[in-house]
Structure 1
């Protein structure tokens, strides 16, 4: 196990009815910018609960943050923050709304071109405080310092990370997920699953706690994910999915172990060029990547197959084949197709995607830095 230093400052407030706690979670006297997406929170009662809890606070609203938050849209929010002298940010929604608001928090106090935060990895030295109310379990952004933003004018999807944009609190009420469309539920489960895999599916470093924790999360998602589609009003199922998605990327299982993240980097280009949902891109890339990197990931693939899918073949190559097939089958079971052709993307897309990877200098991806541009091309070709 590698050396590590771990601290997660986000307070999790979990359970039914906990949106009411906003009255004490948001600092007294704050002028709040309430950010959200397309307005679904007004149809499922969340918006009303939030405003009721914030009675007595001065609240300004900013809506329209996209499923892949747009740099251009977020800059409008930054202007509103400055014009209205906002002192606190409160995203209410899924991962994109929270990610977008993290960028607002950093950009509002950034001296210079805010695009540099993403494109040039300019250091974030200050950020506005924020909390969040999560309505879609998926990304884990509610308790980490990561954010991904898309600039549609240039077809670029880039990320930044800073401890300064950790939400101070995250309210997680599983009942607000009851009304989610099946596609969003499925995407959320796949997203969380791949988050675990990016931190687990590398090579052994004798981190028994992290491995077993990761395997427990994978098993939970495999068991509970399909049930969430079949029984969408079941509180216990929704609670387990919501908590698993948070635990998948709050930093805990990634401490002291190597991490990959190549699936995400390649997947981002699919979203930027073709508009696919984030989870769809992960479902496309991961099985092909596992096949391409099977020798480098051999020990972990065998462990994963044995412990998560209960495969016991003496022929290790066959076991690895079946492990990858089971992974693909799980995504398909959740209703998330796993090949580019399923989304109408043809073979000529590979050149365009590889060009974007080159533009963004994705020359040494993966836990070994051995996923070169040529290897990425092979992965994308296999994912057709």
Structure 2
């Protein structure tokens, strides 16, 4: 292991913690509150934000999509520049927070904000931002990553910069009370695959990272089993904190990462509007089977330590079946079904987009070429 690790985001966790933004954001800062479709006005979160910011000067921008588009976010960038915004407060799930990160960075750049996503502009400066999490899934509230879509070209790309790491994040489980069931189960699976992308790679002997990753995976299995209890504070709190810890940088420190499932899944989302978590549950099983030779040791470790499976020569294969069963238990698909009737044409389109976006050598060994990605997609077809 060799790594440098720090997570500077201050977490305010628990019921009633939205009030902490009153002191977390300096009162002399002009604030832009960014949120999504307006659900925060139905669950009481918006009213709490208004109350907490009553001594601040602030304005708002709404309408950030479930997969935030640059076309929408650039409108917020204009506001941030014209009104000399000093601080951004993202109120929502990972998409809103990702979008706010883009706005924070693009507002400090004179060129086309999309330059950030294609690597033409490296982000070194951004408007400070904080986050109020309402949908646990991505961990975006305390990491430096963001994923943005360009609707006009059906392109979904990530960027990372310490400059857009939230200064603070409020995690109040009460904000989850009115979430649709589809979003809750998406959050469980999204967090699961985030852990897998940092764990299901190569043996590294990193006992803390492996052990913590396994604890998080067992949490998610238990939360899925206890889904009928989702209306109590304990269940909501544990999902919110588990999803946060899945991608706050700790379990990924000093270990090999994969992220191929995400890169292929992003194309499904951009092209066919498949929910992010569902794109992951569709791609991951066939990807694991395709890469089983190099992932066998960690799959066996997961099967034994998380699913409690007995040792056998086919332990890795049985572990993949258990992962599929887990996805199906929360009604998420494990096969490519949400992409139209012409499956061959859909796969051709996805492969073309992967090539356009430079995703031609994916995975921890850079062994997932376009040809391998095609095989993974064909294996995922129902």
Calculate the TM-score normalised by the size of structure 1. 0.97
Q: Which residue number corresponds to residue 360 of structure 2? A: 363
Aligned length: 380
1:44 counterpart SS class: coil
1:1-384 correspondence to structure 2 within 5 Å = 1=1, 3-227=2-226, 229-314=227-312, 316=313, 318-341=314-337, 344=340, 346-348=342-344, 349-384=346-381
Give the Cα–Cα distance (whole angstroms) in 2 for the partners of residues 356 and 323 of structure 1: 31
Partner SS state of residue 240, structure 2: helix
| Deviation of the 1:382 alpha carbon | 0.8
Residue pair 1:121, 1:160 contacting (<8 A) in 2 also: no
- For 2:211 and 2:327, the matched residues in 1 are separated by 22
Contact 2:361–2:369 under 8 Å retained in 1: yes
Deviates more, 1:79-88 or 1:337-346: 337-346
Report the RMSD for the aligned CA atoms in angstroms.
1.1
Aligned mates of 2:341, 2:198 — CA distance in 1: 28
- The gaps in structure 2 that reach 5 residues or longer are none
Name the CA distance, whole Å, in 1 between partners of 2:19 and 2:140.
21
How far apart are 1:269 and its partner, in Å? 0.4
Whether the 8 Å contact between 1:183 and 1:335 is mirrored in structure 2 is: no
Please say if residues 272 and 339 of structure 2, whose CA atoms lie closer than 8 Å, have aligned partners that are also in contact.
no
Deviation at 1:344, TM superposition (A): 4.6
Per-residue Cα deviation, 1:333-379 (whole angstroms, up to 9, x for no partner): 11211111266564221110000001011111000011111000011
| Counterpart Cα distance in 2 of 1:355 and 1:83 | 39
Q: Structure 2: how far apart are the matches of 1:221 and 1:11? A: 24
Q: Is the Cα–Cα contact under 8 Å of residues 134 and 170 in structure 1 kept in the other structure?
A: yes
Structure 1 runs of 4+ with >3 Å offset: 342-346
In structure 2, relative to structure 1, the CA distance for the partners of 1:356 and 1:236 (3 Å cut) is same
Matched residue of 1:170: which SS?
A: strand
CA deviation after TM superposition for structure 1 residue 231, in Å: 2.0
